[in-house]
Structure 1
Amino acid sequence: MSLVLYEVQDGVGVVTINRPEALNALNTPLLEELDKVIDEVDTDSVRCLIITGAGQKSFVAGADIGEMKDMNSREAMIFGARGNDTFEKIERLPIPVIAAVNGYALGGGCELSLACDFRICSDNAVFGQPETGLGITPGFGGTQRLMRVVGSGMAKQMIYTARNIKADEAYRIGLVNQVCTQEELLPTVKKLATQIAKNAPIAVRGSKQAINAADRLGVEYGKVVEEKCFGSCFETHDQQEGMGAFLEKRKEKTFTNS
């Protein structure tokens, strides 16, 4: 059975972490398979990507402690780099990526969700960075991305205390954008992804590029990237189609990513 499932429908891709018997914990074979799946995403035809976990209990319960326990320092650094490299690929995908968090998102699972553009969770979701309680630091980007989402103070509190938080608190601190019932989670996220997929791909991708540029390198650099992205939209089919539809007062639009 594949450790990572991938399907595409109507321009929306769904990646499912498929190790439910271990609460979808991340081990080396799973990370390698996830890396390959991300490489295979056709960003010309797929306009939005969803990442979720198999089953009702867990998005990803963390990295596999059974595999990590007896690692030496060098092995642990290689393992951390493997996860960081894959999550970096996800963050740098030109298309939007939504985490549909069903259940536990702990350690590497929380870090995987943070590599996505935003997070929607079920009401049974639990987030946390429990690493300091295990004698280690976060290793897949948790010390870097969490503070960008919830602020430095809250990120430090979560990491230093190793305390888990439930869905309502995750929503309160801005870690997730919306909380749904378990039954409505995927339909809600797919509806959002479809709405994104209907918009002009060049414009959506340019917006992501500019936001991420400011997030990584500051607003002044972000504004330069925004200006370039804004200018590059003009004289495209999608810009002519979008503005033409507005002026003609028609709802039907055909964006071709060109």
Structure 2
Amino acid sequence: MHAGTFCAGADLKERKDHQPADIIRFGDTVRAIIGGLAALPVPVLAALDGAALGGGAELALAADVRTISHRASMGFPETGLGIIPGVGGTQRTLRLIGPTRTKLLLYTGRRLNGAEAVSWGLADVLSDNPEEAALEILEQSLSKAPLALTAAKAAVDDGFEVPLPKGLIFERAHYAQLFHTKDRLEALKAFAEKRKPNFEGC
């Protein structure tokens, strides 16, 4: 990762020669890629040390956790280009920071610096070295049971947009599926033996 730009979105010079059908096709492809990233059953981290604008911001928002530097920025300039974010930006931003602030970003094209992005809830950890901060989170998660991490992500994602009673049903199901895993038994054994568990992901 190099300071400067995380991803500045589409190449506008290239776009001017595209037909509407080409742009729709391109958007569908990018939307599928970003959706696939968000749907990965493992923790997904994004480290932002530069501009994440337009499609770049949409890519970053597909991660589970975003670390960001003071010099980085996030924003959606699309309305100034006669369009709107089209590969998840409106919907993922809405779910993170609510409708009013989402509309404010879209209406004005405002770029949030790193501290503002964390304050608003678009990013999670402010660091002078966001890559190092992301690797620290990764290292912490690697000490956990892999199946438990997958279940934790699924429980949160499955329950996010449903009423609490249904979300609790999802949580119970993901919780129950871990009872008979070798890793759970290893964790209990390691606790009794006062050592770190050796998880195998099974």
* Structure with greater contact order relative to length (CA < 8 Å, sep ≥ 6): 2
Aligned partners of 2:142 and 2:135: how far apart in 1?
10
> 1:64-123, CA deviations, whole angstroms, 9 ceiling, x for partnerless residues?
212222322211111111110000000000000011011100001110010000100111
In the TM superposition, 1:116-127 aligns within 5 A as: 116-127=63-74
Other-structure match for 1:59: 6
Other-structure match for 2:164: 219
| 8 Å CA contact 1:147, 1:155 repeated in 2 | yes
2:116 is the counterpart of 1:172? no
| 8 Å CA contact 1:105, 1:125 repeated in 2 | yes
Q: Residue 235 of structure 1: CA displacement?
A: 1.4
2:201 is the counterpart of 1:254? no
| 8 Å CA contact 2:80, 2:109 repeated in 1 | yes
> 1:133-191, CA deviations, whole angstroms, 9 ceiling, x for partnerless residues?
1111101100110111111211111112111111111111111111111xx22222111
The match for 1:106 among 46, 53, 68 is 53
2:39 is the counterpart of 1:92? yes
| 8 Å CA contact 1:171, 1:179 repeated in 2 | yes
Q: What count of residue pairs does the alignment treat as equivalent?
A: 202
Aligned partners of 2:131 and 2:169: how far apart in 1?
36
In structure 1, runs of 5+ residues without a counterpart are 1-53
- Richer in helix (by share): 2
TM-score by length of 2: 0.95
Aligned partners of 1:116 and 1:158: how far apart in 2?
20
Aligned partners of 1:240 and 1:60: how far apart in 2?
43
| 8 Å CA contact 1:213, 1:221 repeated in 2 | no
Other-structure match for 1:21: none
Aligned partners of 1:251 and 1:122: how far apart in 2?
36
The match for 1:147 among 94, 97, 109 is 94
The match for 2:181 among 221, 236, 246 is 236
Q: Residue 243 of structure 1: CA displacement?
A: 2.2
2:16 is the counterpart of 1:69? yes
In structure 2, runs of 5+ residues without a counterpart are none
> CA RMSD, aligned part only?
1.3
Other-structure match for 1:206: 151
SS in 2 for 1:105: strand
Give the share of equivalent positions with the same residue, in percent.
35
CA shift in 2, pair 1:90/1:247, >3 Å: same
Other-structure match for 1:9: none
Aligned partners of 2:163 and 2:58: how far apart in 1?
22
